[in-house]
Amino acid sequence: MLDGQGRTIDYLRISLTDRCNLRCLYCIPGEAPCWLPQERLLTGGELLRIVKLLVQMGIRDIRLTGGEPLCREDIATLAGHITSLEGVRRVCLTTNGVLLAQKLPKLLEAGISGVNLSLNALERDCYREIAGRDLWEKAWEGFQAAVSCGDRLTVKVNVVPMRGRNEDQLIPLAGLAARRPVHVRFIEMMPVGRGAFVEGLREEEVMKKLTEAFGPMESCAGPKGSGPAIYRRPKGFCGSIGWISALSHKFCDRCSRIRLTADGWLKTCLQYEAGLNLAERIRRGDSDDQLKSAIAEAIRKKPACHAFESGQENNGWETRPMSGIGG
């Protein structure tokens, strides 16, 4: 499946729910989030129908995200159906890890092959201040459960470096990859939703801190399904350090992804609203062929690149929070 720029589109991120059990200050701060009403969410049947069509059209790698995907009760059943679709290469999960230890056995049975676990601090108070919940132990339990799966599961840790929030945690977090085969990735804060109001650290600044702590890093191959991340390895490390630097090292020319929101919007670029309301089309009775041709048209019009760096709001920019998009 090619878009209008000639890029191959073979990666789908599905937001299974906009709900989350954390209140991260850059994503869903505060105590009274405004969740999507239940009837707006795609049912399991609608979701699987869309995924099946997208796989027929060329999607190969799928990531289940949210909100917090493990808050969706039917996640293991959905994952099992998705992994068994002909043409699907890999199905992975992005999670905050809080419910992971208890749900992992069923997810492995369903055929999940990788987990990206978001962990912005190794120190409990710092974690609570960022995540809005005192759940560090649960997230850590999830991380340990994932690592204990060995070769059955690729484990990546997602860290968003924030000025004055977790700067002193970055070296210990990177150190998780020293003796474990995990990939710790530093994600530049993107001005999406509340992220626009929290200052992140750029790649160069984080790199400088890590190089001072661990010495120079060599480029290395990333784990399978590594997407836009660039990987490097300090000497003697078992795992690697990854960089997802959408602002300082834009990678739109390599973008292969589309997103499906929990309410059935096929989203073709993180920054823009551009895309297609598949839920509405399904509910009005469109046939598979009609859906496929609308999807192909939306993908043809996928924006060439983001313009986060312009800093100027523009018509057509996404207004949903990251939790509703599937970050």
Among 65-73, 250-258, 260-268, 303-311, the segment contacting ligand SAM (CB under 6 A): 65-73
**Site for ligand SAM contains 227 (CB under 6 A):** no
Residue choice 187, 201, 252, 269 for contact with ligand SAM (CB under 6 A): 187
The CB-of-327 to ligand SAM minimum distance in angstroms stands at: 3
Nearest C-alpha neighbor of 269 from the set 242, 301, 312, 297 = 301
Q: Which C-beta is closer to ligand SAM: that of 54 or that of 322?
A: 322
Q: Which of 62, 63, 91, 94 binds ligand SAM (CB under 6 A)?
A: 94
11 binds ligand SAM (CB under 6 A): no
Interface with ligand SAM (CB under 6 A), residue from 79, 192, 217, 282: 192
Residue 253 tokens, joined: 């020319």
Which of 17, 65, 226, 268 forms a contact with ligand SAM (CB under 6 A)?
65
Q: Which residue is nearest to ligand SAM (CB)?
A: 195
Which range, of 81-89, 144-152, 188-196, 216-224, touches ligand SAM by CB under 6 A?
188-196
Interface of this chain with ligand SAM, residues 99 to 118, rule: CB under 6 A: 118
**Residue 296: partners with Cβ closer than 8 Å, 6 or more residues away:** 1, 57
For 152-204, the DSSP string reads GSEEEEEE--BTTTSGGGHHHHHGGGTSSS-EEEEEPPPSSGGGGGSPBPPHH
Which CB sits closer to ligand SAM, 65 or 268? 65
Q: In this chain, which of 42, 145, 189, 255 binds ligand SAM, going by CB under 6 A?
A: 189
Cβ closer to ligand SAM: 35 or 58? 35
Between 304 and 323, how does the x/- string for binding to ligand SAM read (CB under 6 A)? ------------------xx
Q: Does residue 166 touch ligand SAM according to CB under 6 A?
A: no
Q: Are 318 and 325 in contact (CB under 8 A)?
A: yes
- Pick the piece of the chain touching ligand SAM (CB under 6 A) from 36-44, 93-101, 140-148, 280-288: 93-101
Per CB under 6 A, 66 contacts ligand SAM: yes
Contacts of 45 (CB under 8 A, 6+ apart): none
Dihedral pair phi/psi, residue 148, rounded to 5°: -70, -10
Q: Is 176 exposed, middle or buried (0-12, 13-18, 19+ CB in 10 A)?
A: buried
- Cβ–Cβ < 8 Å for 136, 128: yes
CA distance 280 to 285: 9
CA distance 235 to 200: 27
Q: Which two tokens stand for residue 77?
A: 């059943």
- If one asks whether residue 190 binds ligand SAM (CB under 6 A), the answer comes out as yes
Cα–Cα distance measured from residue 220 to residue 131, given in angstroms and rounded to the nearest whole number: 31
**Contact status: 132 vs ligand SAM (CB under 6 A):** no
261 binds ligand SAM (CB under 6 A): no
Q: Mask: binding to ligand SAM, 136-165, rule CB under 6 A, as x and -?
A: ----------------------x-x-----
Beta carbons within 10 angstroms of residue 253's beta carbon: 9
CA quadruple 203, 207, 210, 212: dihedral sign = negative
- Cβ neighbours of residue 127 closer than 8 Å, sequence gap 6 or more: 119, 120, 121, 135, 136, 139
- Tell me, by CB under 6 A, how many residues bind ligand SAM: 20
Residues that bind ligand SAM (CB under 6 A): 20, 26-27, 65-66, 68, 94-96, 118, 158, 160, 187, 189-190, 192, 195, 322-323, 327
